[in-house]
Amino acid sequence: MKKGIFGIIALILLFSACASSSTTNVNVRSNVALGTDELDSAIREASNEINSKVSAGSFIGIISIQSASTALSEYVIDEIIGNAVKDGNFTVLDRQRLDQIRQEQNFQLSGEVDDDFALSIGRLIGIQTIITGTVSPLGNRYRITIRALNVQTGAVQVQFNKNIDAGETIVALMQNSSGGTAIPQTQTPIQPTSMAQTQTPAQTAAIANGTYIFYPRPQAHKGGVDQNIYVEKIVVRSGYFTVYMTETARGSGSWSGSGALGWNLNPHTSYWARCMLQDLDRPSRIFNPINSNSNNRFYTFENITGRRFRFWNEGNTPHSVFEEIDLDKAEFEP
How many Å apart are CA 207 and CA 200, to the nearest integer? Answer: 18
Q: What is d(CA 302, CA 94) in angstroms, rounded to the nearest whole number?
A: 11
How much is the pLDDT for 108?
59
- What is the per-residue pLDDT for 255? 52
- Contact between 169 and 180 under an 8 Å Cβ cutoff? The reply is no
Contact 185, 79 (CB under 8 A): no
**DSSP H stretches of helix in the chain:** 2-33, 39-53, 70-87, 95-105, 115-125, 168-175, 195-198, 271-274
User: What domains are defined for the chain?
Assistant: 39-190 (3.40.50.10610), 210-333 (no CATH)
Residue 272 pLDDT greater than 50, yes or no: no
Between residues 13 and 152, the one the model is more confident about: 152
Express each pLDDT in 43-87 by its tens digit.
999 999 999 999 999 999 888 888 888 889 889 998 999 999 999
